[in-house]
Amino acid sequence: MSVLDRFRLDGKIALITAGAGPLFGSSCTAGLAEAGATVITASRSREHNEKHAEGLRARGFKAYGLQVDMTKPESIERLQREAKECVGDVDILVNNAVARPAGMSTIEEVTLESLTINAQSDMIGLIWMCKAFCPGMAERGRGSVINIASTYGSVGADPTLYPGTGIKPPIVYPFIKGGMVNLTRALASYYGKRGVRVNCLSPGGYNPSGPQLFAERYAERCPLGRMMDGQDIQGAIVFLASDASSYVTGANLSVDGGWTAI
C-alpha cells in the first residue's frame, strides 16, 4: 500500500456528532466523505442532518443524517443501534458536539443551569458516546476515535482579544476541552491493546461570521497571521481517522496556526 493509499477511508463508516454544523462539523464530514468514508452526521435535528447528508449524496458521496440528543444517554444508545441498522458498525467516531453557548460565559455570569447543561452534554454525553461505540470497536479489534477539543484545552483564553467585540472570555469551555484532552489519553491507554486508537484534534480560532475586530486581533497574535478556515481541519481529521496515523494514539494534534507555540 502506498503512502497516499493509507489516507483513504474506503469501506469505513464514520459517525460525526454535530457533523452538519458550521463550526468544524460540516468541514469534518465533507473531508471524511471525500476520503472515501460513508458518513453519518447526528445532532438534535434529524431534518437538518438529513439535509446536509442529501447535499453530500448529490456530490456522489455516501451520507446519512440521524438524530441524537447528547444530554440523554438513552438517545445515544438509540443512535448506536440505528447507525448499525442503517449502515453497519462504526469504524470512526468523531466527538464534535459541544453545548457551546452555555460554555461561553465569564466566571461572574456562569449559572448552575448553564453548568448543568454543560455537564449533561459535554461530560456525560461525551463519555456515553465512547461507552456506546468503543466496546464494539474493541471487539472487532479496530477503530479510531477523534475528539474535537480546542486550543483552550491546552492554554487559557487571551483576555486582550475580547474587549469591544461582544464576545465573552469563556470560563467553562476551557474546563470542558481540557478534560476532553485528558480523557483522550485515558481512553487511548485503556483501549490501545485492543486495536482502538483515540486522539484529540485541537483547532485554533474559527470565526467565519464573527466580529472583524476579534479576527484582526487574533490574526495579529497568531504566528501564521490568520484565523482558521473550514479546509484547515480536513487534512488533520483524515490523517487521524486513517491508517496514515496507525501508530498515533493518545495524541493531541494542534491545528492552530502556531497559537499554542508562543
For the domain that residue 81 is a member of, what is the CATH number?
Answer: 3.40.50.720
Q: What angle do CA 100, 115, 109 make, to 5 degrees?
A: 85
Average pLDDT over residues 174-190: 96
pLDDT of 228 strictly over 90: yes
Range with the poorest average pLDDT among 12-21, 164-173, 236-245: 164-173
Average pLDDT in the 129-152 region?
Answer: 97
- Count up the domains in the chain and report the number: 1
Which contacts qualify for 208-216: CB closer than 8 Å, 24 or more apart?
208/22, 209/22, 210/165, 210/167, 211/165, 211/166, 211/167, 213/164, 213/165, 214/161, 214/162, 214/165, 214/167
pLDDT score, position 103: 55
Given a cut of 80, whether residue 100 has pLDDT beyond it is no
What is the pLDDT, as a whole number, of residue 207? 80
Please identify every residue annotated as catalytic. 173
Contact indicator for 38, 13 with CB cutoff of 8 Å: yes
Residue 94, SS3 per DSSP = strand
Q: For residue 159, is pLDDT > 80?
A: yes
In this prediction, residue 68 carries a pLDDT of 97
Residue, of 59 and 172, whose pLDDT is higher: 59
Structure confidence at residue 102 (pLDDT): 53
Which of 28-37, 99-108, 150-159 is predicted least confidently?
99-108
Confidence check: pLDDT of 104 > 80: no
Please give the average per-residue pLDDT across 194-214, as a whole number.
Answer: 93
Amino acid letter, 114: S
30-48: average pLDDT: 97
Dist. CA 6–CA 18, nearest whole Å: 26
Does 114 or 68 have the greater pLDDT score? 68
Q: What is the reported pLDDT for 208?
A: 77
Average confidence (pLDDT) over 83-108: 86
- Name the least confident of 44-48, 81-85, 104-108, 112-116: 104-108
Bridge partners of 39, per DSSP, are 14, 63
Determine the structural domain holding residue 174 and report its residue range.
Answer: 4-261
Report residue 193 CA to chain centroid gap: 24
Q: What is the CA radius of gyration of the chain?
A: 18
Question: What's the whole-number average pLDDT of the chain?
Answer: 94
